[in-house]
Amino acid sequence: MIFALAGNQNSGKTTLFNQLTGSNQHTGNFPGLTVDMKEGLISGDKDLTIADLPGIYSLRPYSSEEIITRDYILNNDPDAIIDIVDATNIERNLYLTLQLVEMGRPVVLALNMMDEVRAGGGYIDIKTLSEGLGIPVVPIVASKGEGVSELRRILVKTAKNREKPKIYDFCRPGPVHRCIHAVTHVVEDHAQNAGMSPRFAAMNFIEGNSDIIDKLSVDDNEKELIEHSVKEMEDESGLDRNAAIADMRYSFIEELCSRCVKKPAESPDRKRSEKIDSVLLNKYCALPVFALIMIAIFYLTFNVIGAYLSDLMALGIDWLTMLVDRALTSYGLNPVVKSMVIDGVFSGVGSVLSFIPIIVTLFFFLSMLEDTGYMTRIAFVMDRPLRTIGLSGQSIVPLLIGFGCTVPAAMASRTLGSERDRHMAVFLTPFMSCSAKIPIYTLFTAAFFTKRRFLVMACLYFGGIFVGIIYAILAKRLSGEKNASPFVMEMPNYRMPSAKTTYMLMKQKAMDFIRKAFTIIFMASIVIWFLNTFDSRLNVTEDSASSLLGILGSLLAPFFAPIGLGDWRICASLTAGFAAKEAVVSTLQVLMNGQELSSLFTNEAACSMLAFTLLYTPCVAAVAAIKRELGSTAKTIAVVAGQCAIAYVCAGIVYYAARLF
């Protein structure tokens, strides 16, 4: 059986998904779309699959998430829907519940955060709520696993028996009720032929959702009859069609909650959150606090915890490399093949694997920010600054994701309201320093800036943001557009981070990195070794400068010489970085053949290298994602060329400034 998990943002959906699936989950794409979805097997039962749908507030097709959720349920016909509801904000959350019930699929309502309701002296009559909605209601505390096993039992029972909602009509007698009844009667046969609930089809017809209307194949006479009913409803109610439907739903929710919900007093969590926000969201403190938090994270990651663990792992890899080298030598393996294994695979892949602790540590802290609720505050804090460059606070989401990887960041731009915002976000995400560049930063800061590693790291991250801001300001002035789309968001209470969610995120990032190391980086290392070992006549060469890679690097060297990167080995490593940014490190390790970086780079050249790798074109996978989002090859080429030009100019400025000072 397949279950769909739906709910509002910040309702605990991800926490419940992790509780139900444990480690039996994977991330993919929704069919035909570039938006991530998670699927997992419910722990202990390989026949039960759950799909984690995007967090939404309604099924109105205003955003890609709403369309995805609606179409997944319509097209995949899950055996049951789990609707997770924040019990502390039950009135707002139940709006989506009514829409899910109207779809006519089996629905189980998971009433989350009941511990917070009880802590505030509140009470919810589960039986009355269940009878009022016509669906099973299960109280849970997802963060503690409370009630999750009961939810699973009722979910399976509901799905096996195909128990559809017992109530569809949430409307009091009046003009709205008459209109819904009339439209349902007209579209009933068409809805059943299209595989959807007549009530759901009627509601979408009244609300004017064109994509659903097109699926119903209603003729012109019937459309005219429906429009007549809608016009009568608007005239009698004094509201337009959308406001009338929303008013109907909220009136039902208000009446139901008055019978079964005793609202809690302001909870201790809410009071505590407001006190914290008085500092973190203070107009004078917000940005400095955000900057200090990020600097602290960089310091702990790159100077303390992550650096220590990375050094230990590097020692282990060096020991293993030496052991394999001795074994192959004693075996008498062909020197060329031995060189491929040691100088290609171990030098390339091994050097990249040593950075796993740093990446895991960084995402541990980022997960803490997400789970506590502070990441949402960052979007709020950044709304005003972003509006000065023509973006809304909502744009901070793909930009923040860009610090992890440009590929999902470009995909996340689809959540933005306007095409201009989406395109601008896609243009800006490559300026956010992705995690694939961490090995480059770590290698160079350890070699040249040992005592100021965290400070250099912070400068790199904030430097990318600064260049992106300048780019956005120029783009805004050239386009002449001033107004960003509006941004509405809610502030969840601060909460203790979920250990399970944090573990799952760290595991996912580590596995993604390991997969990349043993696929893209492995292949890149072999290719780089081959190009560095053979000359143009495919003879083994002792001099790397006369190798195929040396020839390629030498062709590029004159172009990069003005910014201090004129050595062919540097040019070759930057070229390899187009496949994957980690390949810059693996290529350098192969070409350096055990030499120190200081023999190839001056301090000024190291500064230039860091600036260039920070800003030049993202990897080929990110370029492909950007092309999908922009839908234009020409625009994609412009993004890549523009980034390389900006990187070259900025690296030149940094290089000559370093020489001067």
Domains of the chain: 2-160 (3.40.50.300), 175-262 (1.10.287.1770), 286-482+505-660 (no CATH)
Distance CA 465, CA 433 (A): 8
Distance CA 389, CA 476 (A): 7
Distance of CA 177 to the CA centre of its chain: 41
CA 437 vs CA 7, 305, 556, 616: distances in Å: 35, 19, 22, 11
The reported pLDDT for the residue numbered 541 is: 85
Pairing outcome for strands 2-7 and 123-124: unpaired
First-last CA distance in the chain: 66
Question: Taking 70 as the threshold, does the pLDDT of residue 576 lie above it?
Answer: yes
The structure tokens listed for 211 are 């994509």
| Among the listed residues 457, 455, 402, 456, the one whose alpha carbon sits nearest the alpha carbon of residue 424 | 402
The reported pLDDT for the residue numbered 647 is: 94
The structure tokens listed for 498 are 């979920």
Residue in the structure block whose two tokens are 């039962």: 45
The structure tokens listed for 446 are 């350890």
CA 352, 611, 505, 40 torsion-angle sign: negative
Pairing outcome for strands 137-139 and 107-112: parallel
**What is the Cβ-side half-sphere exposure of residue 120, based on CA atoms within 13 angstroms?**
22
Question: Taking 80 as the threshold, does the pLDDT of residue 646 lie above it?
Answer: yes
- Beta-carbon count within 10 A of 200 CB: 25
For the chain, give the mean pLDDT.
85
Ranking 235-244, 286-295, 510-519 by mean pLDDT, the lowest is 510-519
**Judging by beta carbons within 10 Å of its beta carbon (0-12, 13-18, 19+), is residue 95 exposed, middle or buried?**
middle
CA 163, 249, 96, 122 torsion-angle sign: negative
**In this predicted model, which residue has the larger pLDDT, 419 or 461?**
461
Bridge partners (DSSP) of residue 492 are none
Query: What average pLDDT does this structure show over 190-207?
Result: 90
The reported pLDDT for the residue numbered 49 is: 92
Q: What DSSP state is assigned to residue 393?
A: G
Residue length, the chain?
661
The reported pLDDT for the residue numbered 314 is: 84
The type of residue at 587 is: T
The reported pLDDT for the residue numbered 559 is: 93
- Beta-carbon count within 10 A of 650 CB: 22
Distance CA 203, CA 168 (A): 11
Question: Taking 70 as the threshold, does the pLDDT of residue 481 lie above it?
Answer: no
CA angle 541, 543, 546 (to 5 degrees): 80
CA 186, 190, 191, 192 torsion-angle sign: positive
Query: What average pLDDT does this structure show over 385-396?
Result: 74
Question: Reduced to 3 states, what is the DSSP secondary structure of residue 618?
Answer: coil
The model's pLDDT over 313-334, given as tens digits with 9 standing for 90+, comes to 889 988 999 999 999 999 888 8
The reported pLDDT for the residue numbered 402 is: 79
Query: What average pLDDT does this structure show over 239-247?
Result: 91
The reported pLDDT for the residue numbered 253 is: 95
Question: Reduced to 3 states, what is the DSSP secondary structure of residue 539?
Answer: coil
Question: Reduced to 3 states, what is the DSSP secondary structure of residue 474?
Answer: helix
**In this predicted model, which residue has the larger pLDDT, 397 or 656?**
656
The reported pLDDT for the residue numbered 34 is: 39
Q: Which residues contact 205 (CB under 8 A, 6 or more apart)?
A: 183, 187, 212, 213, 216, 218, 226
Q: What is the 3-state secondary structure (H, E, C) of 372-384?
A: HCHHHHHHHHHHH
The model's pLDDT over 253-280, given as tens digits with 9 standing for 90+, comes to 999 999 999 887 776 777 888 899 888 8
Rg of the Cα atoms in the chain? 29
The structure tokens listed for 183 are 């439209």
- Phi first, then psi, for residue 81 (nearest 5°) are -110, 130
The structure tokens listed for 545 are 């400068």
Distance CA 596, CA 312 (A): 19
The structure tokens listed for 564 are 């201090």
Residue in the structure block whose two tokens are 């590029």: 556
Distance CA 638, CA 429 (A): 15
